[in-house]
Structure 1
Amino acid sequence: MTDTPYVPARRRPWPDSASRPVATPLQPSVVYATSDPDALDAQYEGQTRGYSYAREGHPNADVLAQMLDRMEGASGGIVTGSGMAAVGAAVLGVLKAGDHVLGADQLYGRSLRMLAEDLPRMGIATSLVDPTDAGRVAAALRPETRMILLETVSNPTLRVADLAGIAALARDRGILLAVDNTFTTPRAIRPFEHGADIVIHSVTKLLAGHADATLGYTVARDPALNDAMRVAATTWGVTPSPFDCWLAERGMLSFDLRYDRAEETAARLADHLAGLPGVARVLYPGRADHPDHARACALFGARFGNMLSFELEGGRAAANAFTRACPGIAFAPTLGDVATTLSHPPSSSHRALSAEARAALGIGEGFFRVSVGVEPFEVLAEEMTRGVIAARVA
């Protein structure tokens, strides 16, 4: 019989080591133990640093948030369980019943749905406006407008917001400007440097970059807003998975390389598609024929990103023929993977809109959005040429 007391495995201390791991450890623990109630009080009151329950925060989320903060030139950012969770935390943490939020009319489909259906149920009024014209935004403001929500580059028509004009307007009126920077990323623009108050990301996309982690991120210039968004994220339980945070951190180590390669290929692919018979139009901010090309140059310099859109002649029949003839490109409602993906907004992100509403945004049945990956340009050009030829005879 031994005199050594039994210690359950879950209560044994982590092994000491004179060295440290090179890779960030994955810590999936839901709860963290403290020594006594006084120690827990000190932790909750901010006198000491620690964790208690994973819904309130965990090490892998904090490591990832710090990386994202550095990229955006911010501090105190919050990682959430998805990009839409980040939008939700920003809205629910800041707005209250009786407030009005003015959204861009070309937001991601689920953001549009939140504005049209969910926020009004909570007593938050909403309306939409063209974000490419600060004059129209000014005309759409109300006395109770508390927030303007827009995307730097819209999904999926790639219109470039009049960020300078809207930021000046928001500043003069005391209105918060929330900017979804998912498409452009901090590699192209850091919205805080252009007057934004809140920045939002779907980390799932380009930042994590491997289509295997679902995460979001939001951060405010004002620490008090960060605290409010953090409370909302904790209350609504939009907790990020430690494993997804760990995967995203790994992906972000190659972000700059992936972004630069995909951006270079996207510019070449846009020009290639524009020269193919059967392609009605190509949308890429780096092309001189893009309606917002001058504004894109002013905002982004030469960083036009990896996203492009195009429209086929022939509508839905042409769209079906195109995807079937391009098996080497994943037809999937996502973006930002290392591999190129093809999305059809009428049947995915914007399917909840009526055909008339989609048409008003310039989204026809032959409309595709392309998230260009890191494959060689020649491979993508050959695949898409085959698809366009098939679409022409559909």
Structure 2
Amino acid sequence: MTKRPNLVRRTGFPESVSRAVVTPLQPSVVYASPDIDTLHAQYEGRATGYTYGREGHPNADVLAQKIDAMEGGEGGIILGSGMAAVSATLMGLLSAGDHIVGGNQLYGRSLRMLNQDLPRFGITTTLADPTDAQAFADAIRPETKLILIEAVSNPTLRVADMEGITKLAKERGLILVVDNTFTTPVGYPAYAEGADVVIHSVTKLMAGHSDVTLGYVLARDAGNSKAIYDTAVTFGFTPSPYECWLAERGLYTFDLRFDRAQETAIKLADFLATHPAVAQVLYPGRADHPDHARAQTVLNGMWGNMVSFKLRGGEDEANRLVRAAPQLAFAPTLGDVGTTLSHPASSSHRGLTPEGRAALGITDGFFRVSVGIEPWDVLQADFEQGLSAV
């Protein structure tokens, strides 16, 4: 009887004097160390290496280093989603009795976490208008530890008083956390401008193809970074190696996609502003935006790919637009290569009361558009078709 060869974990990876042009995908969940001494050295920081996928893996580190370079820092952490990044940051840095001051126009799930989930752990929140640094100052309490804001709010595209709030956080000794998903480091270099912690939903514009769910956190203080990392490992906010590999590939075309989408977004905002079915357009690059003067300083001409608008009507009119333009993907996401249309009242902000949405300016006829890289004439025809039904 022929002896069968042992094929299980015995064959080493082939050596080569040349190197792969594409980053190798490393899906291994676990990594073998040569002995106990080496494992001790790894966990104690005396040797560099990987142990278990939940604690880190090569594809996550490669992606983190590239986003670090975009933000101008080092030591960023990749997590399983944008909300995993928010969760690990808040749970890692806060304890029972602590207080947060948050922007009142944060992403819907961030608002839910601040208003409903963190109070169960004894962490309280006060929401304030991010366009008014004094409103943030008035909301600070003796137990306040952290400020959470977005440079440009979701979905109303209001531009925060970043200079005033950054100065306030430093004067009061508070941790300033900036969710930079909408703006990206190109639109607003949050880390360089003084944020203590920067968060990204890599799912969106950075990965850019709606086939990845990942988050990223960069903390300036090493102790804060370790607290966030330990929380992420303990809670299991593990990123997939394959999705990290896909996101890295998406980053290669980030600059091209950003520039093309922004160019088209400017045209779309101007087009919508002249359409009789549209009551209001919100785009930071337009002179009629309520924060345009501040946007010129904060965004420095990088207005971004996001456009919001309100129809002259409510949900019935909104439904007509969506149904009449099926080629515009009606989906609660942003940052895809294709343009997507989102209706916050029925998706990201459906958890708010009608009065709560109205206070933020979100009507039943409010849409948020994430502009993709389609040719302008194609996108214009799509919107003309949809708006003609309103």
Taking structure 2 as the reference length, what is the TM-score of the superposition?
A: 0.98
Deviation at 1:72, TM superposition (A): 0.2
Identity %: 63
Deviation at 1:8, TM superposition (A): 3.9
Separation (CA, whole Å) in 2 of partners of 1:198 and 1:206 = 19
Task: Determine whether 1:222 maps to 2:221.
Answer: yes
SS of the residue aligned with 1:192? coil
Would the alpha carbon gap of residues 2 and 387 (structure 1) be closer, same or farther in structure 2, given more than 3 Å must change? closer
Task: Determine whether 1:85 maps to 2:84.
Answer: yes
SS of the residue aligned with 1:235? helix
SS of the residue aligned with 1:79? strand
SS of the residue aligned with 1:10? coil
Deviation at 1:9, TM superposition (A): 2.7
Deviation at 1:7, TM superposition (A): 4.5
SS of the residue aligned with 1:201? strand
Deviation at 1:287, TM superposition (A): 0.2
Q: For structure 1, list consecutive stretches of 5 or more residues without a partner in the other structure.
A: none
Letter in 1 for 2:197: I
Q: For structure 2, list consecutive stretches of 5 or more residues without a partner in the other structure.
A: none
Letter in 2 for 1:352: G
Letter in 1 for 2:222: P
Deviation at 1:2, TM superposition (A): 9.7
Provide the residue aligned with 1:102 in structure 2: 101
Separation (CA, whole Å) in 1 of partners of 2:346 and 2:88 = 27
Provide the residue aligned with 1:56 in structure 2: 55
Alpha-carbon displacement from aligned partner over 1:201-244 (angstroms, at most 9, x marks no partner): 00000000000000000011112211111111101100000000
Provide the residue aligned with 2:123 in structure 1: 124
Task: Determine whether 1:158 maps to 2:167.
Answer: no
Letter in 1 for 2:341: L
Provide the residue aligned with 1:38 in structure 2: 37
Provide the residue aligned with 1:170 in structure 2: 169
Moved more, 11-20 or 217-226: 11-20
Letter in 2 for 1:21: A
Q: Structure 1: which 4+ aligned runs deviate by more than 6 Å? A: none
Alpha-carbon displacement from aligned partner over 1:107-164 (angstroms, at most 9, x marks no partner): 0000000001110001111111101000111001001100000001000000000000
Provide the residue aligned with 2:188 in structure 1: 189
SS of the residue aligned with 1:246? helix
Separation (CA, whole Å) in 1 of partners of 2:311 and 2:344 = 13
SS of the residue aligned with 1:178? strand
Deviation at 1:101, TM superposition (A): 0.8
SS of the residue aligned with 1:323? helix
Letter in 1 for 2:260: R
- Contact 1:164–1:195 under 8 Å retained in 2: no
Task: Determine whether 1:388 maps to 2:378.
Answer: no
Separation (CA, whole Å) in 2 of partners of 1:317 and 1:2 = 75
Provide the residue aligned with 2:283 in structure 1: 284
SS of the residue aligned with 1:324? helix
Separation (CA, whole Å) in 2 of partners of 1:192 and 1:66 = 14
Deviation at 1:190, TM superposition (A): 0.9
Letter in 2 for 1:67: K
Q: How does 1:1-394 map to 2 (within 5 A)?
A: 7-391=6-390
Taking structure 1 as the reference length, what is the TM-score of the superposition?
A: 0.97
Letter in 1 for 2:62: V
Letter in 1 for 2:11: R
Separation (CA, whole Å) in 1 of partners of 2:306 and 2:10 = 49
Deviation at 1:390, TM superposition (A): 0.3
Alpha-carbon displacement from aligned partner over 1:352-378 (angstroms, at most 9, x marks no partner): 111110001000000000000000111
Alpha-carbon displacement from aligned partner over 1:168-214 (angstroms, at most 9, x marks no partner): 01100000100000001011111122221000000000000000000
